[in-house]
Structure 1
Amino acid sequence: MTITAPTSLTARSLAPDLARGFMLLLIALAHAPAFVSDWDLGPAALNTAAKFVKSLLADNQARSMFVFLFGYGLGQLAHRQQVRGGDWTSIRKLLRRRAFWLIVIGFANTVLLVPIDIIAVYGLTLLVLAPLVRARESVLWWTSGLTLIPATLLLAWQSVVAQAKPVTMAEYMEPTFGAHLVASIPTWPVETAISTIMVVPGMLVGILAARRRILDEPERHTPLLRRIAVIFIGGSVIGRLPAALLAVGAWTPSSAPISWTVAIAHDLTGYTGGIGMAAAVGLVAIRARRGRLTTALSALGQRSLTFYLFQSVVWVVLFYPFTLNLRDDMGCAATFAIAIGIWLVSILLAEWMRVAGYRGPAEVLMRRLSYRTAE
């Protein structure tokens, strides 16, 4: 059986696209400081505020929102194909083609642009776990819960290491583009494979949410969305506050167990916080009118892959030694200003694409590669 064409832009649900558009801001805020050498360069008060916001709202929470929405998109895709008469064999082939090309695009992003990539991780996870897209809800819940344990521990280990010194790519940047092209290749396969464990819990919850069309029909799930938003975001703020205060030097852990407790609380509630933010956007979508801002932000969400890659291009242009080499010229607050600026420019470009009737280059490429006739 052949796979039907992808959904037209006019048929898309508002809430998931709004969430993806907002998510790109959090991703930019999480990534931008990683490309400068000294976070404390510049006004101390502004850098302190930026580091606090980064730890409280962005770190390991932007990615969790991204992962949840990725899973939600998979659930939407499978549902649409089933409604249009696609059988599971055809849907599985579509998912695995999509997974393969996500891996290819993610590899290209890592090699050509920046070695902070989640696209290939999504692709590898989907390639391995495609059968779970149609698994029973009990299987999805149990798998999500069980994998949350190693996923949180892996993230917590990274966080404990980062407590001693902020992680920055500046010291690893190659002096020439040629050296840059080969620097990430040896470690990419292992890092991508290990990172898949961090994707599984949120991805499966996203698939479950899509089955119930929680963001597609948010007005039918208002009480649930309200509970998720309040409890998950509230719990996230409480769980992540100690790490945020630690990030700005307000206190210092007295022992390794305390460091690990803070890191685990930060990263575990990052998963729930990302889902809570998506739920909050769902509530906004209920009341949002199709005004210019809402339309432009949803246009950005419809082109999230393109503008995720666009951010990578900007990081290379601004910070690498073989381009503008601004890595030693700004601190954390300045990179936040750049991140917000990139997001605003992305909204304007996405709206221009919408008016012009153009999906975005990455989306066009993915659809051409994924939606070929099944044999």
Structure 2
Amino acid sequence: MPTRTAEPTAVTARALAPDLARGFMLLFIVLANSHYFLSGRPVLGGYPRDGSPLDSAVTWLIATFVDGRAFPMFGLLFGYGVAHMVSRQADAGPRAVRRLLWRRSLALVVIGTLHGLLLYAGDILAAYGVLLFLGAWTVRWKDRWLLVTAAFFFVLCTLPGDGSLSVSTDPPDAALLPTDVVTMIVERAQAAPLIALLGPVGSMCPFLLGLWAGRRRILEQPERYGTLLRMTAAVGVGVAVLGAQPVSLMLAGTVPVPDRPTLELLGPLHDATGILGGLGYAATVTLLARRLDNRRGRVVEAVAATGQRSMTCYLTQSVIWALVFTPFLLDLSATLTVTRTALLALATWTATLPLAHHLHRSGRRGPFEVLVRRVTYGRPVGAQRFSRRG
């Protein structure tokens, strides 16, 4: 059987919706990660308990619309992209496809591990590398098995427990805010394997649904799947907002903190409805992309360019967090409030837009996207410059 693998999709051949969704997703990720650095006072779900009324309002907004909602969308888009890779390699044979996915998995694990050690202890790239290593066995499953397994992992996320970050009372630890370089490496070396191995459990459901959706190219054909997308957007976002309220109101200080057994129920409720919210957000952006596809302005083009370079932009966010919050650098974790940190997060994401847009206009991929493609395909993947017009 032929084993030659196909080239990755040219940037000019990519559909708008997945890239636009990835671009917006990075805004949600930077908001979701930022407040966990705040220290020096009691916290709940990563939010200080002594904030101003404005801080309470910002906390409610992020806990309702962002926390536990960004990463499921990432998982869905990750699975969607894997489905496209598998489709392009249809003539290569199952073993060749599996080897290609494993090479990509290795690249993610290595980059993610270095990222987790040097910049951000909460790295997700290594976890998605492990997820892809396992998911490589699922890419040829029948649709029924993908959906049944996705449902199983969704139910798993609803089980009561005290491991949900949304209700954790733990302050930032030495892995997140190390006092020196040696402590940073030692603490993060212990935390990284745990995150990489447990992370795929919560991401498996959206990943498998992304595989299923990618086979049908749902995000690229909104005119064909309009009813499904509208239902997913309305139900997913609606359920996510309602399901977040017990935790969001509690974090905002509007309602009192219940006892531990109740918290062990509310945390999984927040996380499980967040999975539906991630699906709803992806559907919403797809419907939006349909309206914008033929009249793209600079802002839409910049957000899509950011999505095309999502790994590079994600790592850029971590450089800012390391500089601002690390105790032996600027050490602002005990100084910034929830509101100021959210503004910093917004500014960080906004700053990546012109950077990504410049790379797009000059015909260049992101450096980490180039690296991962080089490792994945085992050879130069053609010129790294591309025409803006296609």
Question: Which residues of 2 match residues 25-64 of structure 1 at below 5 A?
Answer: 25-37=27-39, 38=41, 39-40=47-48, 44-64=52-72
Question: Which residues of 2 match residues 6-85 of structure 1 at below 5 A?
Answer: 6-37=8-39, 38=41, 39-40=47-48, 44-82=52-90, 85=91
Cα separation, 1, equivalents of 2:300 and 2:130: 33
Q: Quick one: which amino acid aligns to residue 52 of structure 2? A: A
User: Does residue 1:331 correspond to 2:333, yes or no?
Assistant: no
- Equivalent position of 1:283 in the other structure: 287
- Equivalent position of 1:99 in the other structure: 105
Higher relative contact order (CA 8 A, sep 6+): 1
Higher helix share: 1
Q: Quick one: which amino acid aligns to residue 14 of structure 1? A: L
C-alpha contact (below 8 Å) 2:162/2:263 kept by paired residues: no
Equivalenced residue count is 370
- Equivalent position of 1:372 in the other structure: 378
Question: Which residues of 2 match residues 116-265 of structure 1 at below 5 A?
Answer: 116-153=122-159, 157-159=162-164, 163=167, 165=169, 167-169=171-173, 173-265=177-269
Cα separation, 1, equivalents of 2:282 and 2:52: 32
3-state SS, counterpart of residue 92 of structure 2:
coil
- Equivalent position of 2:360 in the other structure: 354
Per-residue CA deviation, residues 280-315 of structure 1 (Å, 9 max, x unaligned), is: 000001101222111111000000011111111110
User: Percent identity between the aligned chains?
Assistant: 36
5+ long unaligned stretches in structure 1: none
Per-residue CA deviation, residues 232-256 of structure 1 (Å, 9 max, x unaligned), is: 1111111111110011111125444
Which residue of 306, 329, 350 corresponds with 1:300? 306
Q: Quick one: which amino acid aligns to residue 310 of structure 1? A: T
- Equivalent position of 2:387 in the other structure: none
Distance 1:172 1:232, change over 3 A: closer
Cα separation, 1, equivalents of 2:80 and 2:4: 23
Distance 1:310 1:254, change over 3 A: closer
Distance 1:274 1:187, change over 3 A: same
3-state SS, counterpart of residue 134 of structure 1:
coil
User: Does residue 1:268 correspond to 2:276, yes or no?
Assistant: no
Distance 1:104 1:222, change over 3 A: same
Shift of 1:184: 1.0
Distance 1:320 1:135, change over 3 A: same
Shift of 1:205: 0.4
Shift of 1:349: 0.5
C-alpha contact (below 8 Å) 1:13/1:216 kept by paired residues: yes
Distance 1:324 1:93, change over 3 A: same
Which residue of 118, 121, 144 corresponds with 1:115? 121
Shift of 1:99: 0.6
Q: Quick one: which amino acid aligns to residue 163 of structure 1? A: V
- Please provide the CA RMSD for this pair: 2.0
Shift of 1:187: 3.1
Q: Quick one: which amino acid aligns to residue 339 of structure 1? A: A
Shift of 1:165: 2.6
Could you tell me the TM-score, scaled by structure 2's length? 0.90
Could you tell me the TM-score, scaled by structure 1's length? 0.93
Shift of 1:258: 2.9
Distance 1:331 1:340, change over 3 A: same
Cα separation, 2, equivalents of 1:11 and 1:191: 35
5+ long unaligned stretches in structure 2: 42-46, 381-390
